[in-house]
Amino acid sequence: MSLEPLSDGSTAKSLPESTEDSSGPVIDTKYLRRLMHDLSAPTRHVAFFSGFVDEALTEPLDLDDARRSLQTVRTAAERMQQLTQMVTLHMKCLELLHSTSSDPSQRYGADEYSVATMVADVWQKIGGDVATLTVQGDTKTCVQRDLMEIPLTQLLRNALMFNSESRPLQVVVAISKTDEMTSVAIQDNGVGFDTRYAERICEPFECLGTGKDRRDGAGLGLTVASLVIDALSGSLRMESDGQSGTKVSISWPHHCKKSVSDVE
């Protein structure tokens, strides 16, 4: 048994790895323990500060204290909602990819659609200002649109979320196509990230930084994005100088209509 560091600096016990059991699927207990850990803090805040407000209502009410407590409850509830929504998306994504694993050609359709149009639609859907988005180039893809929207939504949401307070947000999406690959590069001028975390940035529940420097977010957006791109036999790369923004590049082969082994 060993101790593993968690996002807030505390540790969790790591159970010895179990031997493979052919009678059923292997359960990722580390994933579940990290999820329970990340949910436990906001749950405690909701319980404690809700009780604090309830007690305050029986005594002379300090409005400032009550407002702070209610804000803490609201923030904790939003955090739990964010986590559960992202975990649900992660599970749905896993189920979808698993259901098509025996026939990956089901991840592609016969009809092509514009990648640039999808990027603009996703940006609007997540609340991005049209004036801050520049789309350069365009091509078409036949990846099932519901599937392709998953990584694009997570990557564009990160660009929107991690903007810098010192400068207006600008996001440039460059779309290109070679003989074999479709590529989308998303460049923002936000806060960037520390490249020390680059190797584990796509691991579940890894929100960049620790303690007070820990980023907001569920820590599953890049996990889900990389899951889809990997399933499409593509690649995801991230670059940043830690100050002037982040560039995320994704690419995937031109599989259409035929099986994955037959690239058109």
Give burial (CB, 10 Å; 0-12/13-18/19+) of 24: exposed
Q: pTM for this structure?
A: 0.69
Kindly indicate the confidence band of residue 18, based on its pLDDT and cuts at 50, 70 and 90.
Answer: very low
Instruction: Report CA 82 to chain centroid distance, whole Å.
Output: 11
In order of their start, the domains of the chain are: 2-15+26-99 (1.10.287), 104-253 (3.30.565.10)
- Confidence at residue 255, expressed as pLDDT on a 0 to 100 scale: 72
Kindly indicate the confidence band of residue 200, based on its pLDDT and cuts at 50, 70 and 90.
Answer: low
* N-term to C-term CA, the chain: 50
> Does residue 210 register a pLDDT over 50?
no
Nearest Cα to Cα of residue 244 among 131, 172, 163, 184: 163
pLDDT for 75-112, tens place per residue?
A: 777 777 777 887 888 888 888 888 888 999 899 988 89
224, 90 in Cβ contact below 8 A? yes
Centre a 10 Å sphere on the Cβ of residue 63 and count the other Cβ atoms it contains: 8
Pairing of strands 140-143, 181-188: unpaired
> Does residue 218 register a pLDDT over 90?
no
> Does residue 74 register a pLDDT over 80?
no
pLDDT for 230-263, tens place per residue?
A: 999 999 998 887 777 889 999 999 876 544 434 3
Alpha carbons within 13 A on the beta-carbon side of 72: 19
Residue 161 dihedral angles phi and psi, to the nearest 5°: -75, -40
Higher pLDDT, 20 or 52: 52
Kindly indicate the confidence band of residue 166, based on its pLDDT and cuts at 50, 70 and 90.
Answer: confident
- Confidence at residue 219, expressed as pLDDT on a 0 to 100 scale: 66
What size, in residues, is the chain? Answer: 264
> Does residue 139 register a pLDDT over 50?
yes
Centre a 10 Å sphere on the Cβ of residue 197 and count the other Cβ atoms it contains: 17
Alpha carbons within 13 A on the beta-carbon side of 14: 11
Instruction: Collect all residues with Cβ–Cβ distance below 8 Å to 128 and sequence separation of at least 6.
Output: 156, 160, 171
Pairing of strands 235-240, 108-114: unpaired
163, 103 in Cβ contact below 8 A? no
Q: Give the whole-angstrom CA distance, residue 46 versus residue 66.
A: 13
- Confidence at residue 4, expressed as pLDDT on a 0 to 100 scale: 43
- Confidence at residue 5, expressed as pLDDT on a 0 to 100 scale: 43
pLDDT > 90 in the chain, percent: 31
Give burial (CB, 10 Å; 0-12/13-18/19+) of 146: exposed
Strands (E), the chain: 2-5, 11-14, 108-114, 133-136, 140-143, 171-177, 181-188, 235-240, 246-253
Q: Give the whole-angstrom CA distance, residue 75 versus residue 97.
A: 33
Q: Which residues pair with 2 in a beta bridge?
A: 14
